[in-house]
């Protein structure tokens, strides 16, 4: 199916729900992004800073770029002012680096805290027990705002997906009831090509879809 056809069928699934669709364009050429853009998509996700920067410079300025991959501290300086939402805040050290560079430019870093909900060693994100101390540190910032939570759940069957999505929703709802400085719970970023329908049923407000829009990725090119 073409990119347009894929988008139509995903949008039909999301129709009537208040869910943001982020088109994950990693490894894909700017032509594909332009095609999705022409079909009305404005939110695009990349997992590598360099790739995002290269595409950002070539594509329309009204695109909202989402950084969905792990962010190394030494790359923060490149993204200031270029990224709409950072989905991968996962340490106090990264928080401090964001605070330093964004405050120097008089800008605000909008972020999601990434949680390693499946406690997988191969994945980034913080463990739930470290959430409180990260939140406390955020309260002392002037230039970093937390807008919600993000997770990449372990691969598994439908029951397993539901379990992790529910865990995330429950953490999200509990934080939402409390009042913190600099922290609001508006965005729950979870769900990818194979599980986004389940994620939406379980309360996702944003889904990140790559192969379901652009087709299989080839990492060997």
Ligand X SMILES: *Cc1c(COP(=O)(O)O)cnc(C)c1O
**Tell me, what DSSP letter sits at residue 123?**
S
What sign does the dihedral 210-61-147-67 (CA atoms) show? positive
Residue number closest to ligand X, CB atom = 210
Would you mind telling me the total number of residues written for the chain in this entry? 221
The correct pick among 55, 101, 147, 208 for binding ligand X (CB under 6 A) is 208
Q: Binding of ligand X at residue 152 (CB under 6 A)? A: yes
**Tell me, what DSSP letter sits at residue 205?**
S
Nearer to ligand X, 153 or 185 (CB): 153
Nearer to ligand X, 34 or 193 (CB): 193
Interacting positions 164-183 with ligand X (CB under 6 A): none
CB of 52 to ligand X, least distance (A): 12
| Residue 81, Ramachandran bin (φ over 0: left; ψ between -120 and 50: alpha; else beta) | left
- How many residues touch ligand X under the rule CB under 6 A: the total is 13
Long-range pairs of 172-178 with CB within 8 A, sequence gap ≥ 24: 172/148, 172/203, 175/135, 175/149
Are the beta carbons of 92 and 105 closer than 8 angstroms? no
CB of 106 to ligand X, least distance (A): 29
* 65: three-class secondary structure by DSSP: strand
Interacting positions 41-100 with ligand X (CB under 6 A): 47, 68-69
The correct pick among 23, 144, 188, 209 for binding ligand X (CB under 6 A) is 209
Q: Which stretch binds ligand X (CB under 6 A): 13-21, 72-80, 124-132, 209-217?
A: 209-217
- If residue 209 lies in a helix (H) or strand (E), which one and from where to where? strand 206-209
Q: Binding of ligand X at residue 192 (CB under 6 A)? A: yes
Which positions touch ligand X (CB under 6 A)?
A: 24, 26, 47, 68-69, 152, 192-193, 208-212
């Amino acid at each position: 199916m073409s990119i347009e056809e894929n988008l139509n069928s995903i949008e039909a699934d999301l129709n009537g729900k208040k869910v943001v669709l982020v088109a994950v364009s990693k490894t894909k050429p700017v032509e594909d992004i332009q095609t999705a853009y022409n079909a009305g998509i404005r939110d695009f996700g990349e997992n590598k800073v360099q790739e995002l920067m290269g595409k950002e410079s070539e594509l329309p300025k009204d695109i909202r770029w989402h950084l969905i991959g792990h962010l190394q501290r030494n790359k923060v300086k490149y993204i200031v002012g270029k990224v709409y939402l950072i989905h991968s805040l996962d340490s106090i050290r990264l928080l401090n680096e964001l605070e330093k560079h964004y405050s120097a430019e008089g800008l605000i870093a909008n972020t999601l805290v990434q949680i390693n909900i499946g406690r997988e060693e191969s994945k980034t994100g913080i463990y739930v027990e470290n959430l409180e101390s990260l939140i406390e540190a955020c309260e002392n910032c002037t230039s970093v705002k937390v807008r919600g939570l993000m997770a990449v759940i372990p691969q598994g069957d439908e029951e397993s997906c539901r379990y992790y999505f529910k865990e995330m929703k429950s953490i999200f709802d509990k934080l939402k009831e409390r009042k913190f400085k600099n922290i609001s719970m508006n965005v729950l970023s979870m769900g990818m090509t194979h599980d986004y329908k389940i994620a939406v049923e379980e309360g996702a407000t944003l889904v990140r879809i790559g192969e379901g829009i652009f087709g299989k990725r080839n990492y060997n090119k």
